[in-house]
Amino acid sequence: MDVETIRKIRPSLRRYLDEFNGCFVKSASRRHMQTYVTGQLSGLERKSIEPIADAAGVPPRTLQEFLSLFRWDEGAVRDRLQRRVARRQGHPHSVGIIDETSFVKKGNKTAGVQRQFCGSVGKTENCVISVHLGYATPEFHTLLDGELYLPEETWHEDRERCRRAGIPDDVVYRPKWRMALEQVHRAYTNGLRFAWLTFDEGYGGKPPFLRALDEVGQNYVGEVPASFRVWTRQPEVMYREHESHRRTGRPRKFPRLKVQTNPTVEVRNILTYSPVMRRESWQEYRIKDGAKGPIVWEAKRILVWLADEDGLPTRAHHLVVARNVLDPGEVKYFLSNAPEETTVEILLLVAFSRWRVERMFQDSKGELGMDHFEVRRYISIKRHLIVSCVSHLFLAEFWLANREKKNRTHDRSGSDRHRSTGAHLAPAWALHTSDRPVHQPAVGEDPAPERQSAPVPPQANTATSAQNRRQTQGHPHLPMAPDLAL
């Protein structure tokens, strides 16, 4: 964004940041917050502390201290951001998206850094990883939360190294799925509700994570690894010993599976060996229109049963197997706890909406410089991630408001008359209304334990694999073009 655009948006940016004033002890910290956010929204090529400070005419050391030393409550900033989203962007068809991103870093001093798989470059690299929660509606998306991941062996078990990086003793290793679950619960506390939650196989492959979502009545559609095990036929359970089989010695634990019950199978083998799945026919679905034509996947769905913490079968879940029509070797497995009457179309809409969080990461890194940070200490990185969420929300709201303004002054284009083969997964939103609206509670209300009906998610856009998820050209970026009239 150029200087003229910054000048135009300054009043609205000031009003926006005033909502966070109560999170800062001193007025100097509030000024530094405005300087930092303005720098992230600017057209600077590099948006680390020094270029932002130089552009604002302040000593770089003051912004360094703003992130590392000044007293202010970054958790309260996150809470106010989420309450604003709940108040202004609540939607009955919202989708919460869990994902992680990575930042390449040199050396071994940055908190959380180690050699590990780095999704940003697609290979093992020296990097840090953060876990995020995104929020998407048909017309809007933004980042709600972000936390630095602390590796177990190289950091958690070396508390002296943690202290040198400013990591408090109470900050310990947590699996990424547990971090994601805590972020979802924080969003609930701040009044946000998700009609759906979606995530990749790194989270879908963790049964405790899936059970925790089920316990709070959260509908989800998540990708699971090919090795994930399920029952394709509900196994039989014994609730008490039969009289003729009663024996002396230590009593058996009940309920328990019958000895001769059917075994669990890996989902990758279901297509080949399950007669239930073989009886289902493939149905084609157009995910989106790409540059070289429509992107079409075919899918089929059966009901399966998972093992609970005691090894007993849960209620029925959906297993959707989808494969790329142009590359049948690319197969995805999606699991959902939605009501049994939920259609495959809706499940795929949720499953393929995960591209939205990749776009959020692209905008946060490309437009806001979220990956430009050069700080090393834990508190500085933690605050940088939260402030980046604040900047992204302003950017998203700015883009939405100006798009609506343009829509009011220009006639909207007609409906798509050119249908490709297969069912279309990106139809007009009005064609997909839920029979029963999702309850949107007031801020602070506890999440309802009852499972909601299965509302339709925001439209899907892309079906790229994990290796090329960054190709999300179907939805516009969120740049602040200088010619937008405010």
- Cα separation, 47 vs 384, whole angstroms: 12
List, for residues 275-304, the tens digit of each pLDDT value. Answer: 999 999 999 998 877 777 788 999 999 999
Can you give the pTM of this predicted structure?
0.84
- The answer as to whether 195 is a domain residue is yes
Q: What does the pLDDT read at residue 403?
A: 80
| pLDDT of residue 424 exceeding 60 | no
Clarify whether residues 186 and 306 are in a common domain: no
- Cα separation, 12 vs 86, whole angstroms: 20
One-letter amino acid at 370 equals M
Quote the DSSP letter at residue 129. Answer: E
- Cα separation, 485 vs 472, whole angstroms: 27
| pLDDT of residue 323 exceeding 70 | yes
Q: How many domains does the chain have?
A: 2
Clarify whether residues 50 and 185 are in a common domain: yes
| pLDDT of residue 420 exceeding 60 | no
| pLDDT of residue 152 exceeding 60 | yes
Clarify whether residues 157 and 42 are in a common domain: yes
- The answer as to whether 411 is a domain residue is no
Between the alpha carbon of residue 67 and those of residues 81, 109, 163, 446, the distances in Å are: 18, 17, 17, 33
Clarify whether residues 46 and 186 are in a common domain: yes
In a 3-state reduction of DSSP, which class is residue 417? coil
Length of the chain: 486
Please, which pLDDT band fits residue 89 given cuts at 50, 70 and 90? Answer: very high
- The answer as to whether 215 is a domain residue is no
**Average pLDDT of the segment spanning 132-137:** 97
Please, which pLDDT band fits residue 335 given cuts at 50, 70 and 90? Answer: very high
Residue 327 neighbours by CB under 8 Å, 6+ apart: none
Domain coverage including residue 277:
221-241+250-347
Average pLDDT, the chain: 84
One-letter amino acid at 477 equals H
| pLDDT of residue 4 exceeding 90 | no
- The answer as to whether 280 is a domain residue is yes
- The answer as to whether 90 is a domain residue is yes
What is the per-residue burial (b if ≥16 Cβ within 10 Å, else e) of 300-336?
A: bbbbbbbbeeeeebbebbbbbbbbbbeeeeebbbbbb
Check residues 176 and 415 and name the one with the higher pLDDT: 176
One-letter amino acid at 8 equals K
Q: Residue 58, exposed/middle/buried by CB under 10 A (0-12, 13-18, 19+)?
A: middle
Q: What does the pLDDT read at residue 243?
A: 53
Nearest to 140 by CA among 191, 187, 95, 198: 95
Nearest to 194 by CA among 477, 466, 458, 472: 458
Clarify whether residues 119 and 26 are in a common domain: yes
